[in-house]
Amino acid sequence: MSNTNKEKKTTHFRLSLLDAKTHQQLKSVRFTKTTFIITIICAIVIFCAAIFSLIAFTPIRTFIPGYPDASTKREAIQNAIKADSLESVIFKWELYAKNLRRVLEGERGLAIDSMMTASQKQAEAARNEKYLKSQDSLLRKTVQDEEMFEIAGRNTRSLPIEGMHFFTPVKGVITEGYDPALHPYVDIAAPEGTAVNAIADGTVIYTGWSEETGHTIQLQHDSDIISIYKHNNKLIKNVGDKVKAGTPIALVGNTGSLTTGPHLHFELWYKGESIDPTNHINF
Structural domain harbouring 50: 11-63
Could you tell me which residues are beta bridge partners of residue 209? 215
* 130 and 256 assigned to the same domain: yes
Query: What is the reported pLDDT for 255?
Result: 94
Helix axes 70-104, 112-127, angle to 10 degrees: 150
* 160 and 199 assigned to the same domain: yes
**What DSSP state is assigned to residue 30?**
E
* 139 and 199 assigned to the same domain: yes
> Which of 68-72, 113-117, 149-153, 265-269 has the weakest average pLDDT?
149-153
Residue 160 inside a domain? The answer is yes
Consecutive H or E run containing 145: helix 129-147
pLDDT tens by residue, 215-260:
999 999 998 999 999 999 999 999 999 999 999 999 999 999 988 8
Residue 229 inside a domain? The answer is yes
* 176 and 257 assigned to the same domain: yes
The proportion of the chain whose per-residue pLDDT surpasses 90, expressed as a percent, equals 39
Could you tell me which residues are beta bridge partners of residue 39? none
pTM: 0.47
CA max distance for the chain: 114
How many degrees, rounded to 5, is the angle at CA 108 between CA 106 and CA 111?
140
* 52 and 161 assigned to the same domain: no
* 86 and 58 assigned to the same domain: no
* 190 and 229 assigned to the same domain: yes
Domains identified in the chain, total number: 3
* 54 and 167 assigned to the same domain: no
In this prediction, residue 143 has a pLDDT band, given cuts at 50, 70 and 90, of: low
Q: Which long-range contacts (CB under 8 A, 24 or more apart) does 207-211 make?
A: 207/235, 207/237, 207/238, 207/239, 209/255, 210/256, 211/256, 211/257
Residue 5 inside a domain? The answer is no
Calpha distance 143→16 (Å, rounded): 74
Residue 104 inside a domain? The answer is yes
Q: Are residues 214 and 247 in contact, defined by beta-carbon separation less than 8 angstroms?
A: no
* 150 and 218 assigned to the same domain: yes
In this prediction, residue 1 has a pLDDT band, given cuts at 50, 70 and 90, of: very low
Residue 1 inside a domain? The answer is no
**What DSSP state is assigned to residue 104?**
H
Could you tell me which residues are beta bridge partners of residue 269? 226, 274
Could you tell me which residues are beta bridge partners of residue 250? 196, 235
Q: Check which CATH number belongs to the domain holding 185 and give it.
A: 2.70.70.10
* 19 and 129 assigned to the same domain: no
Residue 6 inside a domain? The answer is no
Question: Does 282 or 170 have the greater pLDDT score?
Answer: 170
Residue 94 inside a domain? The answer is yes
Tell which phi-psi region holds residue 247, choosing left (phi > 0), alpha (psi between -120 and 50) or beta.
beta
Residue 2 inside a domain? The answer is no
Calpha distance 280→165 (Å, rounded): 8
Contacts of 164 by beta carbon, 8 Å cutoff, 6+ apart: 200, 223, 225, 280
* 48 and 82 assigned to the same domain: no
* 59 and 73 assigned to the same domain: no
Q: Which long-range contacts (CB under 8 A, 24 or more apart) does 148-154 make?
A: 149/203, 149/205, 149/220, 151/202, 151/203, 151/205, 151/220, 152/220, 152/221, 152/222, 152/223, 152/224, 153/222
pLDDT tens by residue, 52-105:
888 777 777 767 766 666 667 677 777 877 787 787 778 778 777 777 777 777
For the chain, the residue count is 283
